[in-house]
Structure formats: structure tokens, C-alpha cells
Structure 1
Amino acid sequence: MHPAIKLRHLRAFLDIAASGSLTAAARAQGITQPALSRSLAELEDLLGAPLFLRQGRRLHLTEAGAAFREAAARALQMLDAGAAALRPGAGAGRLRVGVLPTAAGQLFPRVALAFAQRAPQVTLAVETGPHSHLVSLLRAGEIELMIGRLPEPGDMAGLRFDHLYEDRIALVSRAAHPRIGQPAEAALAACPLILPPQSALIRRAVEDYLLARDIRAAPMIETAALAVGRGVLAGSDALWFISHGVVADELARGVLVEWPTGAAALAGAVGLTRRQADTASPALELLVRLTRRLART
């Protein structure tokens, strides 16, 4: 390997590969897009091969890029393991997991409580955030498991997904919305919209639903954060497309109401994503078993 290749090059490359976007990867790393672009250009120059092809606004791995991603991910995992081995006990008693919003509200709290009863000596270190960020952490070995929606096919190289259940995309509003009782399409055409962020896995399905009904209004706000969405709904007549798992408690309490959309396509698989090559620790196996059991109840 060229001696000028640095860890920052590898992390930049893996983040871009996970998100397919320079903007999203730069945001995840906390650096500017031009700085990230320079790191990628340097890496491609040092390797002597293009790693990505640009198609519209998305970056797709070349054949060389796909092969290098596997090697780079394994290299970072081995470096992390080697560093941890120099600090005996530093990583003991911690299990690092990533939780996407669709599983963060109802499923994961029950899993965490059950895990704490079974393995009180192990601390769950939980990361949250957008899908691209958590996939990047998973590939880099900074989390051992991701719980949430099925990643895009282009993100699945070197990963495996275990299906738990299907989670629909819900259209919700405040309980006292003045148009309750009207068809969802009529309300969508007349009311402000809250959409998931561009980086959210469910965004494309929502856009396809709206396009098929010729609803083209720009969203008032984009968010998958429960506190933000709930607060905006409480003070407006907006309608929010969001994973049902995010708002399940609010719907059960009657704080929010769900509008029937009649669209079977507004659903997706939720499950466990891990690296294919990993050997699970006893703590991780316990967490996986508990998650599978509680997802069925």
C-alpha cells in the first residue's frame, strides 16, 4: 500500500460508499464537502484507480471501489481490535449498537430493559442518527449491530440482514386536525407537509406516493425526529409522513392520529444488520435473541 494513504482517506472512502453522497458523508464526518472531495481525490490518485462513478447526484462504487471497500473495512476493524488489545479491560462490559428511529421508540427500549436484567455487567452504548451514519459506523467497526430498516441494496456488500417485521410509513397529524374525515389525498393537497429527510430510507417511497397523486408541494420541514415533528404538528395543520414505529406511542395515547393512505407500498422491512465476517460475542448474541423475541410480541 502506498505509504501516503492515511486513516482519514479510508474513513472518508467508507463514509462516501455507505451514503452514496459527498454531502451526507461530509456531514457525518463533521467536515466540509470540499475537504472530503480532496481526501477522495488523493486516495484515488494514490491507488491509481477510480473508486466511484457519478450517476446524477449519487456516487456508485466502481468494481475496484467495491473490492477496496471490503479490504478497507476489515483493515479498520483489525486496527480497532489491535488498539483495544493494548488497553486490557478498556472495551470490557460494553456493547455498541446503532438504532434507527423506526426501532428507537417502542422496540429497542423493551430490548434494552430485558438485556439489562439478563446482563447487568454489560453497558449498552447506543448510537442514533440517519441510516448512512450508522452504516458507516458499522463498516468501521464502531458499532457491532444496527437495528432498523433494511439498507439499500447498494449498501449491503459485506453486511447481512435478519428480518424482524414489517413497518409501514404512517401519515399522521394532531388529533384535532380540522380536516379529519376527509380523504388523505384531499388533505395532502391543501395542508403543509412534513417529510422525512432526503437521507432517510423511506423518503423515496413517500415521494413516489405523492408523485403518483400529482401532489407536488414543497415540504414545510424535513425531519424524522419525534420531538420536532410532534411539536410542529401540535402548532399547525401539517401532515407528517413518518415510520409508524417512531410515532406508535403518540398514536396509542391519542396525541396523534393516523390517516389511511391505502398504499401497500408504504411499508418496509425492519431487522438486524451486521457485518458478515464478524463472530458475535456472547453479549451480542444475547441482544440479538432478545430483539428477535420481543419483536414478535
Structure 2
Amino acid sequence: MELDQLRYFLQVAEKSNFTRAAEELQISQSALSRSIQKLEEELGQPVFERKTRAVTLTDAGVLLQSRARQVLSLLADTKAEINDDGQSGCVRVGAIPTIAPFFLPKILRVFSKTYPKASLVVQENTTDQLLKSCTQGEIDLAIVALPIPAKYLEVEPLFDEELFLVLPPEHPLVEQPNIRIGDVEPYPFVLLDEAHCLSDNIVTFCRQRSFLPVTVERTSQLAMVQELVSLSHGVSLIPAMARQRDDSDRRVYRSLADPKPTRTVAVAWNPYRFQSRLLKAFREHLAQHGR
């Protein structure tokens, strides 16, 4: 059994399709099919159930998927440990979309100057996908907002961040000197899609104050939330880091009276994977920036 066979198998399992897997691997579909066929002959049973438009894992395939991930992760960790000089290597960073473009650029720039031989790869995705990638070793750490279901991950809070009320300039609350969350209850909200944890933070905060925000529109981009507020589609709550990057005069940001809505930004990683000195240095860099 060859390592490439395992890599090819995992790609087909992820894509559930030979054509898409071959495109991702940049090999011909016939070469991929021959590799999987040879693997199945060696195992003595099929690992995929072939259907018209997709393939699914057999019971043997499910077991092989788990073992293949462990084998490839162990080899990757062994190579990283042998070559761990504390200065070079790759750190794979994941971050949710409401953090990545606002928090990471400066961090990456400063770290790259300190460690010029290191390479940093950034993946932006939803919390669920990042935690899955972190658990499976596809990324080294994930920068997310609490709470998270991190059963097999180590989690370290970095900092708390205020959520600001964003209003169109002509909104009646703009001139109100002291705005409480209850004052916002009559107005519709513009929120991110349910896949984004910021929406959960907002809804949970409102529920704790005995009301559920009426959502008129949902979008996948924080910038679109801001634009829809500018167009008087509703109001919203925006993280401080996004507010600091917004110099538009088409929106007004107000800090709510205590208790202020906040979120906690944290970093999560898989403690069962090899932790290189470079990765530990990057985590410390994140902690220092958070402090």
C-alpha cells in the first residue's frame, strides 16, 4: 500500500466523486481509478460504493478513512519534528470571516518579519469547518469566537471584543444619548447566515435580555451587513475590529449601555498533533497581540 494511494483515497472520500477528486489532485481520472482499484484488490474488498453521480464509503472504506488520516498525520508530524529548527516551516492558520480580514493582516506581517524563513497559509471558513480541519490536522490552529464545541481541541481565549450597534445616519436612535439593548427591540436586524457564529452571539445576547431579534435579511459577508444597514434595511451589531476598519459616513456606530454585548476571540489547536517550536511561537505571538 502506497502513500499516494491513501492520499488519493481520502480525496475521493472527501469529494464523493472521482472526477472532482482527479481535478483536485491534478491527475487523470483513469489514473485515479486504477489507483483505487489496486487499493481495493490489496484489501480484498471495495472501499467505495459506486453510484450514478457519486460514491459513498463502504464499512471498510470508513475504517480505512480513519486509519489513512492517522497514518498521513503521523508521517507529517514525524517529518515536521525531524526538521523543527524553530525558524522555518509552515504554519497553517484558519480563521472565521468576521475575524480573518480585520485581525490577521498585522499579525501575519509582524510574524513574517520576525521569522522570515517561515511560511504562513491562511484558510477562511466557518467555525464548524475550521474545527473539523483542526481536528483532522488539515490546519494547525483556528482563530474563532467562543463558545465552541471543542471536544478534542485545546482552546485559549485571546481577548474580549465589544459589539457595536450600527445604524443608518437617519435612524431615530442616532441622537439618543444612552442606548440600551431594549431600545433596539422594535427594529429589524440584518444578520449573517446561521453558519456564522456572530449571529449566534447576537441572538444569544438578545435572548438573555428577553427578546428575540426580528431578522429581515441574512447574508454571508459582514461588509454586506454594513451596506444593508446603510440602505436602512435594519440595524445590526458589528465587532469592534470591523468598526475600526470602516471609515464610511453612511453608517453610525454606537456603544450600547451596560451590559455591553461582547464576544470572546480564542485560538484552538489539536494537542494530539506535533507542536513545532514555530507553531508555539505563533501561538505566543497571537497571545501577546491579544493582550
TM-score higher than 0.5 = yes
Q: Report the RMSD for the aligned CA atoms in angstroms.
A: 4.0
Following superposition, the deviation at residue 43 of structure 1 comes to 5.0
How do 1:90-129 and structure 2 match up within 5 A? 93-129=89-125
**Aligned residue identity for 1:79:** L
In 2: Cα distance, 1:263 partner to 1:210 partner: 11
Size of the aligned set, in residue pairs, is 237
Following superposition, the deviation at residue 97 of structure 1 comes to 0.5
**Do the aligned partners of 1:166 and 1:267 also contact (CA within 8 Å) in 2?**
yes
- Alpha carbons of structure 1 residues 207 and 107: separation in structure 2 relative to 1, 3 Å: closer
In 1: Cα distance, 2:100 partner to 2:173 partner: 30
Deviations 1:34-78 (A, max 9, x none): x9xx958x559977xxxxxxxxxxxxxxxxxxxxxxx94x85253
Structure 2 equivalent of residue 179 of structure 1: 173
Structure 2 equivalent of residue 278 of structure 1: 273
Structure 1 equivalent of residue 218 of structure 2: 221
**Do the aligned partners of 1:250 and 1:256 also contact (CA within 8 Å) in 2?**
no
How do 1:154-173 and structure 2 match up within 5 A? 155-173=149-167
- Secondary structure in 2 matching 1:219: strand
**Do the aligned partners of 1:161 and 1:274 also contact (CA within 8 Å) in 2?**
yes
- Alpha carbons of structure 1 residues 210 and 288: separation in structure 2 relative to 1, 3 Å: closer
How do 1:257-268 and structure 2 match up within 5 A? 257-260=253-256, 262-264=258-260, 266-268=261-263
Q: TM-score, normalised by structure 1?
A: 0.64
Deviations 1:141-177 (A, max 9, x none): 111011222352xx31221011211123332224454
Following superposition, the deviation at residue 261 of structure 1 comes to 5.2
- Secondary structure in 2 matching 1:179: helix
How do 1:76-87 and structure 2 match up within 5 A? 76-80=69-73, 82=75
**Do the aligned partners of 2:168 and 2:251 also contact (CA within 8 Å) in 1?**
yes
- Alpha carbons of structure 1 residues 255 and 145: separation in structure 2 relative to 1, 3 Å: same
In 1: Cα distance, 2:263 partner to 2:184 partner: 24
**Do the aligned partners of 2:111 and 2:285 also contact (CA within 8 Å) in 1?**
yes
Indicate the structure (1 or 2) with the bigger Cα radius of gyration.
Answer: 2
**Do the aligned partners of 1:105 and 1:249 also contact (CA within 8 Å) in 2?**
no
**Aligned residue identity for 1:163:** P
In 2: Cα distance, 1:44 partner to 1:209 partner: 45
Q: TM-score, normalised by structure 2?
A: 0.65
- Secondary structure in 1 matching 2:142: strand
Following superposition, the deviation at residue 186 of structure 1 comes to 3.6
**Do the aligned partners of 2:167 and 2:253 also contact (CA within 8 Å) in 1?**
yes
**Aligned residue identity for 2:287:** R
Structure 1 equivalent of residue 129 of structure 2: 133
In 2: Cα distance, 1:76 partner to 1:139 partner: 11
- Alpha carbons of structure 1 residues 45 and 237: separation in structure 2 relative to 1, 3 Å: closer
How do 1:39-50 and structure 2 match up within 5 A? 39=56
**Aligned residue identity for 2:218:** I
**Aligned residue identity for 1:221:** R
In 2: Cα distance, 1:119 partner to 1:135 partner: 26
- Secondary structure in 2 matching 1:189: coil
In 1: Cα distance, 2:217 partner to 2:258 partner: 24
**Aligned residue identity for 2:281:** L
In 2: Cα distance, 1:283 partner to 1:219 partner: 45
In 1: Cα distance, 2:248 partner to 2:143 partner: 23
Deviations 1:2-48 (A, max 9, x none): xxxx6479869xxxxxxxxxxxxxxxxxxxxxx9xx958x559977x
Structure 1: segments with no counterpart, 5+ residues: 1-5, 13-34, 48-70
How do 1:55-66 and structure 2 match up within 5 A? none
In 2: Cα distance, 1:46 partner to 1:106 partner: 39
In 1: Cα distance, 2:222 partner to 2:213 partner: 24
**Do the aligned partners of 1:105 and 1:245 also contact (CA within 8 Å) in 2?**
no
Structure 1 equivalent of residue 189 of structure 2: 193
Aligned-residue identity in percent: 19
In 2: Cα distance, 1:287 partner to 1:45 partner: 36
In 2: Cα distance, 1:219 partner to 1:43 partner: 44
